[in-house]
């Protein structure tokens, strides 16, 4: 536990003893603090605004970002099909009845019911709570691969998606002028590590972007592009039925993407990618999408976490071993009561999906209101509706309540579903217009200014840095 920072009096009033001349003060309304402005935080706050009576409780949402990013659209942002700002939902204008605090949660003191924060100017402060919801999301699950931190970018934030788009456009612009064959090959080589939903959608959009851009350069041939998808397991998107996984792999291969299964990256030192199958090549752009783990803030609470760094919770979304603490979303190990239990496995847990996060937030809102009113709690139980994934070029795969789709119907369903899930009508309208422009061939393929802006790369100073909460 970190030492207590000096409190900010705008968040927590300093205590003082009562004076006989003071007028009687009304008791303070219970304060519900929500850490994280993602799917759980935004959905929960909106639900509480509708369910709570006037003055029944104060709702405070804490996040280091002033907006919520709709992560399922990150691949299309990286592919240049959607403007980055259009997938960011401003929290303050969306949550009119919630106090939004921009700051990074750094520690929790469950005994004193205090949340420690760092504000954007570096000031430390304390926020008291009556009920605390921990939903800071997840961070990239890193492996001890030499050179990974220096030469790869994660794919969990809006900044990652924009950085990847700029890096692809920049490398193609440079490759068109390179006379050195080795430098040219490295600039035109792109690697995505991780064959789950995130990695597959990212590599499909990256390939589409690279091909569309290469056609605009007379000095480039699309055949020179080398795009690799590296997956440690035996199939891409293993959550899907085997037939859909095989279809996905075949479609990626048809578009020119090399899919390597049962293969791991062993080194990236010096920008040279070394694989467990013995392959070795230089690549300027590497994307790490090999899974996520709970935000490190959760482990620092001292409460029980699972091997993936997620808080262990009950089916009611209460944190095990703590009072007045709740968790949901990617950072919570929530029992999946609707899943079939396998004899050789432990109790199944809910997956780290937007579908579960949104539905858990709805149950959590109900349970928080019930707690304030002395009512009973309900358990989270949700039958998995299925999943959808876009494969670029009007192709996709989907499994909805047991029905399998692929190709154009799945691609359309993918877009309709996520557009409907996107918060606020204003953002939906902007995204629909972006799609219309891309269909008409008006996707912006302008590379960054290399003279004044420097050389953008896919890597960042520390790919292991925490996603702020």
For residues 389 and 316, membership in a common domain is answered with: no
Q: What is the pLDDT of residue 450?
A: 58
256 near 224, Cβ under 8 Å?
no
Query: Residue 455 falls within a domain, yes or no?
Result: no
CATH at 270: 3.50.50.100
CA distances from 414 to 244, 297, 399, 421 (A): 15, 33, 10, 11
For residues 260 and 308, membership in a common domain is answered with: no
For 247, the 3-state DSSP assignment is helix
Query: Residue 281 falls within a domain, yes or no?
Result: yes
Banded pLDDT at 24 (limits 50, 70, 90): low
For residues 126 and 190, membership in a common domain is answered with: no
* Whether pLDDT at 278 is above 60: yes
pLDDT tens, residue by residue, 214-271: 999 988 999 999 999 999 999 999 888 889 999 999 999 999 999 999 999 999 999 9
Beta-bridge partner residues of 192 = 229, 287
Q: What is the pLDDT of residue 6?
A: 43
- Residue 282, judged by CB atoms within 10 A of its CB (0-12, 13-18, 19+), counts as middle
Banded pLDDT at 368 (limits 50, 70, 90): very high
384 near 355, Cβ under 8 Å?
yes
**Integer Cα distance of 247 and 396 in angstroms:** 10
For residues 224 and 307, membership in a common domain is answered with: no
For 109, the 3-state DSSP assignment is strand
Q: What is the pLDDT of residue 16?
A: 40
Banded pLDDT at 458 (limits 50, 70, 90): low
Query: Residue 183 falls within a domain, yes or no?
Result: yes
For residues 337 and 255, membership in a common domain is answered with: no
Sign of CA dihedral 42, 43, 46, 49: negative
pLDDT tens, residue by residue, 282-301: 999 999 998 788 888 898 88
Mean pLDDT of 438-465: 59
Of the chain, the percentage scoring pLDDT greater than 90 comes to 67
Banded pLDDT at 365 (limits 50, 70, 90): very high
Q: What is the pLDDT of residue 463?
A: 36
**Integer Cα distance of 113 and 30 in angstroms:** 12
pLDDT tens, residue by residue, 41-80: 999 999 999 999 999 999 999 999 999 999 999 999 999 9
- Encoding tokens for residue 172? 């193609």
Query: Residue 233 falls within a domain, yes or no?
Result: yes
For residues 368 and 340, membership in a common domain is answered with: yes
Whose structure tokens read 């006989």?
20
Of the chain, the percentage scoring pLDDT greater than 70 comes to 88
Q: What is the pLDDT of residue 457?
A: 52
Query: Residue 126 falls within a domain, yes or no?
Result: yes
* Whether pLDDT at 454 is above 80: no
Residue at a domain's end among 329, 345, 373: 373
* Whether pLDDT at 9 is above 70: no
For residues 250 and 121, membership in a common domain is answered with: no
DSSP conformation class of 221: -
Q: What is the pLDDT of residue 5?
A: 44
Q: Which residues contact 312 (CB under 8 A, 6 or more apart)?
A: 303, 304, 305, 306, 319, 320, 321, 333
CATH at 57: 3.50.50.60
pLDDT tens, residue by residue, 70-106: 999 999 999 999 999 999 999 999 999 999 999 999 9
For residues 298 and 282, membership in a common domain is answered with: no
Query: What does pLDDT average to over the chain?
Result: 87
**Integer Cα distance of 148 and 119 in angstroms:** 30
Beta-bridge partner residues of 130 = none
For residues 166 and 282, membership in a common domain is answered with: yes
Q: Minimal CA–CA distance to 444: which of 136, 86, 18, 9?
A: 86
**Integer Cα distance of 75 and 183 in angstroms:** 27
Sign of CA dihedral 312, 313, 318, 323: negative
Residue at a domain's end among 352, 373, 394: 373
Query: Dihedral, CA atoms, 362, 364, 367, 373, nearest 10 degrees?
Result: -90
Q: How many domains does the chain have?
A: 2
For residues 239 and 351, membership in a common domain is answered with: no
* Range(s) of the domain holding residue 131: 31-64+103-140+293-373
Query: Residue 160 falls within a domain, yes or no?
Result: yes
- Residue 208, judged by CB atoms within 10 A of its CB (0-12, 13-18, 19+), counts as buried
pLDDT tens, residue by residue, 297-342: 898 888 889 888 999 999 999 999 889 999 999 999 999 887 766 5
For residues 211 and 356, membership in a common domain is answered with: no
Mean pLDDT of 417-442: 91
Nearest 5°: the CA angle 100, 424, 94 is 20
For residues 268 and 297, membership in a common domain is answered with: no
């Amino acid at each position: 536990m970190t030492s207590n920072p000096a409190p900010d009096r705008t968040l927590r009033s300093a205590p003082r003893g009562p004076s006989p001349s003071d007028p009687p003060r009304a008791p303070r309304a219970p304060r519900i603090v929500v850490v994280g402005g993602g799917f759980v935080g935004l959905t929960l706050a909106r639900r509480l605004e509708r369910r709570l009576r006037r003055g029944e409780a104060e709702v405070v949402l804490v996040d280091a970002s002033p907006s919520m990013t709709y992560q399922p659209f990150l691949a299309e942002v990286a592919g240049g099909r959607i403007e980055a700002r259009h997938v960011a939902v401003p929290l303050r204008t969306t949550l009119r009845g919630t106090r939004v605090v921009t700051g990074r949660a750094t520690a929790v003191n469950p005994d004193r019911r205090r949340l420690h924060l760092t504000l954007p100017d570096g000031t430390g402060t304390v926020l008291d709570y009556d009920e605390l919801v921990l939903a800071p999301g997840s961070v990239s699950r890193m492996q001890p691969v030499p050179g990974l931190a220096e030469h790869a970018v994660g794919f969990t934030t809006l900044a990652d998606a924009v950085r990847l788009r700029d890096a692809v456009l920049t490398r193609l612009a440079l490759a068109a002028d390179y006379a050195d064959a080795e430098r040219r090959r490295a600039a035109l080589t792109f690697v995505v590590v991780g064959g789950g939903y995130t990695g597959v959608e990212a590599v499909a959009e990256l390939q589409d972007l690279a091909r569309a851009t290469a056609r605009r350069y007379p000095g480039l041939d699309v055949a020179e592009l080398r795009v690799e998808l590296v997956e440690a397991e035996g199939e891409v998107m293993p959550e899907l039925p085997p037939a859909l996984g095989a279809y996905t792999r075949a479609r990626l291969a048809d578009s020119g993407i090399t899919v390597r299964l049962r293969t791991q990256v062993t080194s990236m030192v010096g920008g040279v990618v070394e694989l467990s199958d013995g392959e070795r090549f230089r690549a300027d752009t590497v994307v790490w999408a090999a899974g996520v783990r709970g935000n490190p803030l959760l482990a620092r609470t001292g409460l029980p976490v699972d091997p993936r760094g997620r808080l262990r919770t009950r089916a009611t979304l209460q944190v095990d071993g703590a009072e007045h603490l709740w968790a949901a979303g990617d950072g919570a190990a929530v029992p999946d009561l609707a899943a079939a239990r396998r004899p050789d496995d432990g109790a199944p847990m809910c997956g780290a999906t937007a579908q579960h996060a949104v539905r858990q937030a709805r149950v959590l809102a109900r349970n928080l209101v019930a707690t304030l009113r002395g009512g009973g709690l309900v358990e989270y139980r949700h039958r998995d509706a299925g999943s959808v994934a876009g494969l670029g070029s009007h192709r996709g795969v989907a499994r909805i309540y047991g029905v399998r789709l692929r190709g154009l119907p799945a691609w359309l369903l993918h877009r309709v579903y996520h557009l409907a899930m996107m918060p606020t009508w204003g953002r939906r309208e902007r995204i629909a217009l972006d799609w219309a422009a891309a269909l008409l061939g008006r996707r912006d393929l302008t590379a960054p200014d290399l003279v004044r802006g420097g050389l953008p790369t896919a890597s960042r100073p520390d790919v292991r840095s925490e996603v702020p909460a």
